[in-house]
Amino acid sequence: MMSEKRKVESLLPEIVLAPLRGVTTVDYRNVFCRHFSGLDSALAPFIPTVSGKVIKPKLLSDILPEKNRALPVVPQIIGKEPADIIVLAKTIYDLGYEEVNWNLGCPWKFVAKKMRGSGLLPHPDKVDAILAEVLSNIPGKFSVKVRLGMKTEHDLKALIPVLNKHDLSEVIIHPRTAVQMYEGTVDVDMFAECFDLLTHRVVYNGDITSVEFYKTLKERFPTITKWMIGRGVIINPFLAAEIKGAAPLSLSAYTVAVRDFHDDMLSWTEDRLSGPGHILGCMKELWKYMAISFEGSEKKLAYILRAKTMNEYGRRTDEFFHFYENHG
Ligand SMILES: Cc1cc2nc3c(=O)[nH]c(=O)nc-3n(C[C@H](O)[C@H](O)[C@H](O)COP(=O)(O)O)c2cc1C
């Protein structure tokens, strides 16, 4: 008979870190795993296809297997030319990866207008032709990450017969249109319609920033076992563990943990990048998310974001952490 513990474990959701280009880098993923738990894997930020048969090593630096031992990773690519997708995907399988994910959701105009990312969503015939050619020429698993559509939330529904026709390992859905970017609410009703129509394994992704919202979704979609979280985990790095049952920490203990993570992340960033401009740019990007979990921190965050030197940055972040460590 299965023990109680095993039963609980088997009910635990699988949680994947969403790709946020410029934020969930290999350094972030590795440092995260040294300080926090709860994530089962990560989808790496997209790598663009290039024309020609040679992929420059720099393009692959984020997914080099020797740097990605802390957390299982699925690399993601973005592009529209089957030949280029095949070359890049094969290069990635050659590194030892079993699966490659194709980005059909990137909302940025300069990407979408070139019919890449979400720009392909309104064109089922084109997606059909690309998938037919790519899938018959690659040796590994292939999955897609989609939005509901480009300008309307109806594109995905029209694309589903095409997706169902092909041998995909899973479909990750972020239920917003590209026009919405990351604003407004997620359309969970339209997600439900698409979920019912898809024959592939579906992964839900969008706006999971609290255990409560996760529970609401899980109640509505009890058969979904895999969830992708981006901003929610960057804002509160304990979120994945809390969803799996960990008790929330006191504010001061939380602040100490986030400070340790921050200091580790800063030292990695200092080793990797040269010049305060680059280092500060990278760390400030992280702060825009991290500060959200500290109530009433808007002015303190703005002060950190105005730091121009490493000394200013050090003093201001120290003040920030000191304040919350002592008000917990
Ligand atoms: C700054 C930024 C960069 C992103 N980069 C990628 C990317 O490289 N590939 C991708 O599929 N999605 C990308 N996304 C979308 C996220 O993976 C995710 O779908 C979105 O943030 C919604 O999930 P969340 O609400 O859990 O963050 C990006 C989002 C942001 C805000």
Domain borders along the chain are 11-243, 251-326
At residue 11 the predicted structure's pLDDT band, cuts being 50, 70 and 90, is: confident
Ligand 1, atom nearest to 145 Cα: 11
Distance 175 CA to ligand 1 centre (A): 12
Q: What is the pTM of this model?
A: 0.96
pLDDT in tens, 17-33: 999 999 999 999 999 99
Residue 7 clears pLDDT 80, i.e. is over it: no
Q: What is the 3-state secondary structure (H, E, C) of the chain?
A: CCCHHHHHHHHCCEEEECCCCCCCCHHHHHHHHHHCCCCCEEEEEEEECCCCCCCCHHHHHHHCHHHCCCCCEEEEEECCCHHHHHHHHHHHHHCCCCEEEEEECCCCHHHHCCCCHHHHCCCHHHHHHHHHHHHCCCCCEEEEEEEEECCCCCHHHHHHHHHHHCCCCCEEEEEEECCCCCCCCCCHHHHHHHHHHCCCCEEEECCCCCHHHHHHHHHHCCCCCEEEECHHHHHCCCHHHHHCCCCCCCHHHHHHHHHHHHHHHHHHHHHHCCCHHHHHHHHHHHHHHHHHHCCCCHHHHHHHHCCCCHHHHHHHHHHHHHHHHHCC
Q: Which residues line ligand 1 (CB under 6 A)?
A: 18-21, 23, 45-46, 76, 103, 105, 145, 174, 182, 205-208, 229-232
At residue 193 the predicted structure's pLDDT band, cuts being 50, 70 and 90, is: very high
Mean pLDDT over 264-275 rounds to 94
Best mutation site among 15, 16, 21 for ligand 1 pocket (most ligand atoms within 8 Å of CB): 21
User: Which pLDDT does position 8 carry in this prediction?
Assistant: 44
User: Which pLDDT does position 5 carry in this prediction?
Assistant: 40
Lowest mean pLDDT across 49-53, 137-141, 168-172, 301-305: 49-53
| Domain 11-243, CATH class in plain words | alpha beta
